[in-house]
Amino acid sequence: MESAPKRLRIKQVFSSDPGDSVEIKGWVANKSSMGNLIFATIRDGTGYVQVSAKKGTTPPDAMAALDSATKESAVAVVGVVRNDARAPDGRELSVREFRVVSAAEVWPITKTAAASATYLYDVRHLSIRSRRTTATMKIRSEVVGATFDYFREKGFTLISAPSFVQAAVEGGSTLFPVEYFGKKVYLSQSAQFYEEAALASLEKVWIYQPAFRAEKSRTAKHLTEFWMIEAEQAFAEQSDNMKLQENLLAFIVKRVVENRPYELRALGRDIAVPPVPFERVTYDEVRDQAAKQGVSFEWGEDIPTDAEKLMSMAHQNPFFITDYPLSARSFYHMTYPDRPGVTRSADLIAPAGFGELATGGQRIASYDVLMERIRSQSLPPEAFGWYLDLRRYGMPEHAGFGMGVERVTRWLCGLKHIRGASLFPRTMTRVSP
Ligand code: 4AD
Ligand code: MG
Domain of 350, CATH number, reads: 3.30.930.10
One domain for residues 275 and 148 = yes
One domain for residues 67 and 139 = no
In this prediction, residue 167 carries a pLDDT of 83
Query: Cα(43) to centroid of ligand 2, in Å?
Result: 39
Looking at the DSSP bridge assignments, the partners of residue 6 are 22
CA distances from 298 to 223, 273, 284, 302, 373 (A): 28, 35, 11, 9, 22
pTM as predicted: 0.96
Mutate to test the pocket of ligand 1, among 156, 174, 228, 303 (most ligand atoms within 8 A of CB): 228
One domain for residues 53 and 137 = no
Q: Is residue 175 part of a domain?
A: no
Question: By alpha-carbon position, which residue is closest to atom 29 of ligand 1?
Answer: 222
One domain for residues 136 and 39 = no
Q: Which atom of ligand 1 is nearest to the CA of 174?
A: 28
One domain for residues 384 and 300 = yes
Neighbours of 173 (CB within 10 A): 10
One domain for residues 247 and 338 = yes
Q: Is residue 205 part of a domain?
A: no
Q: Is residue 296 part of a domain?
A: yes
One domain for residues 59 and 136 = no
Task: Please tell me the distance from the alpha carbon of residue 47 to that of residue 122, in angstroms, as a whole number.
Answer: 25
Helix axis angle for 283-292 and 305-313, nearest 10°, is: 90
- Specify the pairing of strand 319-322 against strand 345-350: antiparallel
Sign of CA dihedral 99, 103, 106, 112: negative
What order of strands is seen across the sheet that includes strand 345-350? Answer: 157-158, 204-212, 225-234, 398-404, 355-362, 345-350, 319-322, 279-282
Task: Please tell me the distance from the alpha carbon of residue 370 to that of residue 363, in angstroms, as a whole number.
Answer: 9
Q: What is the domain range of residue 413? A: 124-155+229-421
Query: Cα(93) to centroid of ligand 2, in Å?
Result: 50
Neighbours of 353 (CB within 10 A): 15
Q: 196 Cβ partners below 8 Å, 6+ apart?
A: 232, 363, 387, 390, 395, 398, 400
Task: Please tell me the distance from the alpha carbon of residue 405 to that of residue 419, in angstroms, as a whole number.
Answer: 12
Q: What is the CATH number of the domain that holds 18?
A: 2.40.50.140
One domain for residues 286 and 379 = yes
One domain for residues 86 and 138 = no
Q: Which atom of ligand 1 is nearest to the CA of 358?
A: 17
Question: By alpha-carbon position, which residue is closest to atom 30 of ligand 1?
Answer: 222
Q: Could you tell me if 80 and 21 are in contact, meaning their C-beta atoms sit under 8 angstroms apart? A: yes
Query: Cα(351) to centroid of ligand 1, in Å?
Result: 17
One domain for residues 148 and 97 = no
Q: Is residue 326 part of a domain?
A: yes
In this prediction, residue 172 carries a pLDDT of 85
One domain for residues 235 and 97 = no
Count of domains for the chain: 2
In this prediction, residue 2 carries a pLDDT of 62
Q: Which atom of ligand 1 is nearest to the CA of 356?
A: 17
Q: Which atom of ligand 1 is nearest to the CA of 348?
A: 17
Question: By alpha-carbon position, which residue is closest to atom 9 of ligand 1?
Answer: 402
Question: By alpha-carbon position, which residue is closest to atom 11 of ligand 1?
Answer: 401
Q: Is residue 56 part of a domain?
A: yes
Task: Please tell me the distance from the alpha carbon of residue 140 to that of residue 408, in angstroms, as a whole number.
Answer: 8
Q: Is residue 39 part of a domain?
A: yes
Sign of CA dihedral 215, 347, 325, 385: positive
Burial class (CB in 10 A: 0-12, 13-18, 19+), 367: middle
Task: Please tell me the distance from the alpha carbon of residue 52 to that of residue 35, in angstroms, as a whole number.
Answer: 13
One domain for residues 128 and 275 = yes
| Domain limit, last residue, from 102, 133, 167 | 102
pLDDT tens digits in sequence order for the chain, 433 residues long: 567 999 999 999 999 999 999 999 999 999 999 999 999 999 999 999 999 999 999 999 999 999 999 999 999 999 999 999 999 999 999 999 999 999 999 999 999 999 999 999 999 999 999 999 999 999 999 999 999 999 999 999 999 999 999 988 888 889 999 999 999 999 999 999 999 999 999 999 999 999 999 988 789 999 999 999 999 999 999 999 999 999 999 999 999 999 999 999 999 999 999 999 999 999 999 999 999 999 999 999 999 999 999 999 999 999 999 999 999 999 999 999 999 999 999 999 999 999 999 999 999 999 999 999 999 999 999 989 999 999 999 999 999 999 999 999 999 999 999 999 999 999 999 999 9
Task: Please tell me the distance from the alpha carbon of residue 394 to that of residue 396, in angstroms, as a whole number.
Answer: 6
Give ligand 1 pocket residues (Cβ under 6 A): 169-170, 189-190, 192, 213, 215, 222-223, 226, 228, 230, 356-360, 400-404, 406-407, 418
Q: Is residue 68 part of a domain?
A: yes
Q: Is residue 391 part of a domain?
A: yes
